[in-house]
Amino acid sequence: MSSNNNILVKLKNAGYQLNNKFLVEGVSLEVQKGRIVTLIGPNGSGKSTTAKIALGIYKKIEGEVEKYTDKVGYVPQKISIDWTLPIRVNDFMLLTDNISEDQINEALSLTGVIHLKNKSLGNLSGGEFQRVLLARAISKKPELLVLDEPVQGVDFTGEIALYQLIKKIAEELNCGILLISHDLHTVMSATDHVVCLNGHVCCSGSPSDVAHNHEYKALFGEQASKTLTIYEHNHDHIHTNEGDIKKN
């Protein structure tokens, strides 16, 4: 079974219920090394829940989860730092792993927040904090990255740069990424496989497959479908911070 060696996590008909109500059910998907799988769907469609099932945070689940790696980096959707806890960015980088000073500096530089290294976590802006969260998750060179809305609150140009960084990380570290995002534009240009959720899997496949799927159109509207299709034909260039267009 040589093809299975690349699988990092696999969900088989997985679901999770709270107070006898399914938050999500019947999800099957797999994340392989070097591939980016994106979960899309409206609010409350079970995207974060699916990610938490894959991570093993929820224990009493329906179906099965097979995880083939312990080297996991996670960017949760929401995290609040209690003011009673004095903690600097540098302390936060060491939260779950004893990584070296060089690894800390490298990761913080990649996400553009090296200058915040000795700042208190409570004093960061939303976008800065998101960049620190991403830096922490990639710093330990994980095999599996789970990113739950990793660029929320980041400014527009920063958003594009971070998505490019995420794609670059997937290639360089050869790690698998499970990504959750609302932003159809940016996600689609970087994604290998899309899973569209609405309490269950509506449709899944390559970005263009999903864009043409009628269930996807019903969920997001005709406009969203066009967005995806346009992007399919447009991703041969990037916009730099200075506003120039650079050919890939």
Partner 1 sequence: MFDDFFIRALFAGIGVAFVTGPLGCFVVWRRLSYFGDTLAHSALLGVTMAYSFQFNIAISVFIISAAIALILIQLQKKTNLPGDALLGLLAHSSLAVGLVVIGFLSFIRFDIMGLLFGDILAVTVNDLLIIWIGGALILVVLKLIWKSLFASTVNYELAEAEGLNPDRAKAIFTILMAAVIAISIKMVGLLLITGMLIIPAAMARNVSTSPLQMVFYSIIGGLLSVILGLFSSLEFNTSSGPSIIAASLFLFILSLLKIKQTAGLKN
User: Where does this chain bind partner 1 (CB under 8 A)?
Assistant: 52, 55-57, 70, 72-74, 76, 79, 81-82, 84-88, 90-92, 95-97, 120, 146
Q: How far is the CB of 11 from partner 1 (least distance, A)?
A: 15
Minimum distance, C-beta of residue 189 to partner 1, in the bound complex (Å): 27
Closest separation in Å from C-beta 176 to partner 1: 15
CB nearer partner 1, residue 18 or residue 95: 95
In the complex with partner 1, the residue whose CB is nearer, 2 or 80, is 80
3-state SS track over the chain:
CHHHHHEEEEEEEEEEEECCEEEEEEEEEEEECCCEEEEECCCCCCHHHHHHHHHCCCCCCEEEEEECCCCEEEECCCCCCCCCCCCEHHHHHCCCCCCCHHHHHHHHHHCCCHHHCCCEHHHCCHHHHHHHHHHHHHHCCCCEEEEECCCCCCCHHHHHHHHHHHHHHHHHCCCEEEEECCCHHHHHHHCCEEEEECCCEEEEECHHHHHHCHHHHHHHCHHHHHHHHHHHCCCCEEECCCCCEEEC
Nearer to partner 1, 92 or 216 (CB): 92
Q: Is the Cβ of residue 74 or residue 216 nearer to partner 1 in the bound state?
A: 74
Q: Cβ of residue 163: shortest distance to partner 1, in angstroms?
A: 22
Question: Of the two residues 90 and 103, which places its CB atom closer to partner 1 in the complex?
Answer: 90
User: Smallest distance, Å, CB 96 to partner 1?
Assistant: 4
